[in-house]
Structure 1
Amino acid sequence: FISPKVQMLLSKITGFNINKIFSPKQVSVTESPKYKLVTDEQLRELQEGSLKGANKLLQMPPYKKPWNIHNNDELIISNDQQIAHFEMDDSTYVFTDISPGIPRRDRMLVVRDKEGVLRRCNREESDKILMLYYPQEGKMYNMPQMFQPQQLEVLLGKHQYEYVLNVACVQFEPDDPNYTRVTERTFEHVLQSGQFEVLRFTRFYGSMVFYFLIHNKIDLLLAHQLSQNRLDDAVSLVQLYHIIHPYCKSVAICKGEDAKDNYQLIQVSFF
């Protein structure tokens, strides 16, 4: 996913539409528009700044494997049975390093269980504890109800894909299993509904395409691109497929004389 060539091709497929990038969003408070009188040079500077801001908004969320709370994250530091259930105290104690300047995910967080075990916190516990000490704007301590399966399906049925994914990026870390569950279910719903254009020109389009690629589910997307006469995007999609699946049969075929140009690459690969 972080390969420069893969990122370049995903960005190319995503496309750039400044009107959609800066389209009106739902906000709790409506602010009055602001007007400025500027010179032509100042206008060009503002336009260049808008383009830079648009490219920043198109930066794709990182793609990571979800953490596993059952792995060796719970590293036991000590096991002191002499203090187990000390004086009938069944509380669990949490010790947090709150020293300034330490990256969020590098802080030492340990738990003393009521059984006397002192251990490192697992990822799920760490996320909860850090929310208490270092709350993040927009992130709730408990998972919002909108991410429960039933409520999620209601939003997806309304094609609120970008809204769901934006909130998921705020609420979850990229390797949180819930983030993986929500994003993959959203991408699957897009695939089933064929509403690929809803996410086009957004930062999630490339992530969705990458998901389809690694799971061998690009046929419908490729057909959609061809139906929209976006041949360059279709070629980029096939090139990405060959990068991610270098040993597939079409790679060997395309190295032959039958694939003499990019458009024949599609025909040779999938038809």
Structure 2
Amino acid sequence: MAAFRIARCAFQSSRLAGNAELPCVVAGGGGHGRRALCSQSPGHPAAEIRKPQFMDDDVQCILTRITGLDLEKVFKPVQQQLRPPTYKFMTNEQLEEERFIVVREPNGVLRKATWEEQDRMIQVYFPRGGRRIVPPSIFKDENLSVVFAQDRYEDILDLCLIQFEPNSADYIRVHHQTYEDIDKNCKYDLLRSTRHFGGLVWYLVNRRKIDGLLIDMIQRDLIEDAISMLHLYHMVHPDCQSSKEANQQQAQGLDLIKIFSHTDSQKGGYIELALQVYQDTLNSSANQDPCRNEEGN
């Protein structure tokens, strides 16, 4: 249980990774968004259901569950102990009320600082260990490809958490490029059981690109994770064809995967093949189990 709590904390410490669509600021206290129905007001025909957000409790529950727990990854040696930041979501009105950094141009015009200028000024007056005023060249696009070729996805995301604020353009760019390369090369397992896996899943689900990860889960005998990811997919895209058919048929378990494979999937044939291999393996194992054979006789 202790190991699980450590892994959960490690995951939640960077649960905003890849969640670039949501405005957020670093704050002293944490908070959990909660899924809720929009209130129906007079003059509106019906209340609309708010789209699930990354920090919603039910979303976090699914992402935490499918992240996995590889103790070798959880307890692997690190060069230094990092203190994870805490995050708090704020409304646009609250954001406007927050202090912001301004820059005076040579001609006297006063303007808001860019993200790059804000990062440099914050680091000058409120230095953070491990962060540089000028970002390391490793974050440049031409160097990221070298990092990806060496399978150092977790390393680059860890550095990104230290160097950039979660709402900065570079933070979002690095995370998205990392996720895209992982999906392109089907190297999902390199982030499994790390604090970055939830961000990867959330990114792929929102962009309707879960085919590769779904196949990977089936091939690794992670069927429950695959089913949980499809539940999340239907939460985020309730109007998709697979969600509608699943609701009509009240489908559960493997039937959810089968419905997705012939509706929304772009690689339906590969998913069906992986599922067939999985089922054949189960049947073969059952036939070779002497205890089952004795019970059958």
Greater Rg over alpha carbons, structure:
1
| 1:17 is the counterpart of 2:59 | no
Structure-2 residue corresponding to 1:262: 253
3-state SS in 1 of match to 2:248: coil
* 1:61 to 1:243, Cα distance in 2 relative to 1, 3 A: farther
Aligned pairs, number: 204
Query: CA–CA distance in 1 between the matches of 2:88 and 2:160?
Result: 13
Query: CA–CA distance in 1 between the matches of 2:69 and 2:85?
Result: 13
Deviations 1:51-104 (A, max 9, x none): xx9xx99x899799xxxxxxxx9x9xxxxxxxxxxxxxxxxxxxxxxxxxxxxx
Indicate conservation of the 8 Å contact 1:60/1:206, yes or no: no
Query: CA–CA distance in 2 between the matches of 1:60 and 1:219?
Result: 32
Deviation of residue 135 (structure 1)?
Answer: 0.9
Structure-1 residue corresponding to 2:218: 226
Structure-2 residue corresponding to 1:190: 182
Structure-2 residue corresponding to 1:172: 164
Structure-1 residue corresponding to 2:14: none
* 1:230 to 1:63, Cα distance in 2 relative to 1, 3 A: farther
| 1:1-271 to 2 correspondences below 5 Å | 1-25=54-78, 27=79, 106-257=98-249, 259=251, 261-271=252-262
Query: CA–CA distance in 2 between the matches of 1:63 and 1:9?
Result: 21
* 1:235 to 1:193, Cα distance in 2 relative to 1, 3 A: same
TM-score (norm 2): 0.63
Amino acid corresponding to residue 264 of structure 1 in structure 2:
D
Amino acid corresponding to residue 166 of structure 2 in structure 1:
P
TM-score (norm 1): 0.69
Structure-1 residue corresponding to 2:282: none
Deviation of residue 267 (structure 1)?
Answer: 1.2
3-state SS in 1 of match to 2:194: coil
Deviation of residue 194 (structure 1)?
Answer: 1.1
